Amino acid sequence: MKTLHDYYRPLGATGLMVSPLGLGTVKLGRDQGVKYPNGFTIPDDRKAADLLALAHELGINLIDTAPAYGHSEERLGKLLKGQRDNWVIVSKVGEEFESGQSRHDFSAQHTRFSVERSLRRLGTNCIDLVLVHSNGHDLDILEQSDVYTTLETLKREGSIRAFGLSGKTVEGGLLALDKGDCAMVTYNLNEQSERPVIDHATAIGKAILIKKALASGHVCLGSGVDPVQASFELVLGHPGVASAIIGTINPLHLSHNVRVAASVIESRR
């Protein structure tokens, strides 16, 4: 069985080492307003625990969650009890999802409240990385709100190890890297406009996480071409990428993704 144990990468200058694939957990907590081609049922605790155990067995140590992912944080807090040392946990601030609607709040007060709530939900005294969940107005968020300065204070206080932006623009990603530790960008076979952010991170030694590496399941290629392999060749082939977050609750998909990612990385060594 191929695993990712031998292929961990530095998460920028944070001192953390992460698996080249991370597990996205929106589907553990929310089934409304998610942009996947097929419907799904939120797994029960048994299935969720089995999925996390499989991810760990396959060498995945990075887990991505957010307050906007419904009950994801609370469920992870229970499911990962006693396993904190096995995981690098990424959560977010700035977006809330209530009654089927998203709302955003980047104020200092809400940022601190959100991180403290995530700490309680996740059952930990420190979150490894907190990203600002952008509403698309990246520069306004970084320049006009107090979210980044508040996260910097929380990092000094020891509540978080690192911070950054899950953004939607090149300009936002570049500024986020200069002032913080990490940028999460969209990068896949269909969408590569944020590549300059990855290139900049490589040049200055900061961290990059990739979202939508498989285009939220929408990647389609000609017959005979494995879309997962082609996607990972692109994404994991860039030296600036620490990890690609893949949101799946299907054990077979998870195993296939890991097998393909390991083969792609191996072939480049």
Q: Mind listing the pLDDT tens digit for each residue in 228-258?
A: 999 999 999 999 999 999 999 999 999 999 9
d(C-alpha 186, C-alpha 188), whole Å: 7
Per-residue confidence at 220, pLDDT binned at 50, 70, 90?
low
Average pLDDT value over all residues in the chain: 94
Question: In 3D, which of 190, 240, 226 has the Cα closest to residue 20?
Answer: 240
To the nearest 10°, report the CA torsion of 20, 17, 183, 145. 140
Beta strands per DSSP E along 33-117 = 62-64, 88-93, 95-98, 101-104
Q: Please, which residues have CB within 8 angstroms of residue 140's CB and are 6 or more apart in sequence? A: none
Query: What's residue 39's pLDDT?
Result: 76
pTM: 0.95
- Which residue type, as a one-letter code, is found at position 133? H
Query: What's residue 145's pLDDT?
Result: 98
User: How distant, in Å, are the alpha carbons of 32, 68, 81, 129, 208 from that of 49?
Assistant: 22, 21, 11, 23, 28
Per-residue confidence at 183, pLDDT binned at 50, 70, 90?
very high
Please name each of the domains of the chain with its CATH number: 7-265 (3.20.20.100)
d(C-alpha 233, C-alpha 238), whole Å: 9
Beta strands per DSSP E along 9-74 = 9-10, 17-18, 21-24, 62-64
pLDDT for 91-135, tens place per residue?
Answer: 999 999 988 889 999 999 999 999 999 999 999 999 999 999 999
Higher pLDDT, 216 or 57: 57
d(C-alpha 49, C-alpha 69), whole Å: 17
pLDDT for 146-169, tens place per residue?
Answer: 999 999 999 999 999 999 999 999
Query: What's residue 268's pLDDT?
Result: 85
Q: Name the DSSP class of 74.
A: H
Question: In 3D, which of 247, 243, 249 has the Cα closest to residue 261?
Answer: 243
Pairing between β-strand 243-246 and β-strand 21-24 as defined by DSSP bridges: parallel
d(C-alpha 6, C-alpha 61), whole Å: 12
Q: Please, which residues have CB within 8 angstroms of residue 117's CB and are 6 or more apart in sequence? A: 67
d(C-alpha 189, C-alpha 212), whole Å: 10
pLDDT for 76-96, tens place per residue?
Answer: 999 999 999 999 999 999 999
CA 135 to chain centre: 16
Give catalytic residue positions. Answer: 69
User: How distant, in Å, are the alpha carbons of 92, 95, 113, 120, 222 from that of 100?
Assistant: 18, 13, 21, 24, 36
Whose tokens are 């950054």? That residue is 164
d(C-alpha 92, C-alpha 101), whole Å: 17
Lowest-confidence segment of 36-40, 86-90, 115-119, 208-212 by average pLDDT: 36-40
Query: What's residue 9's pLDDT?
Result: 98
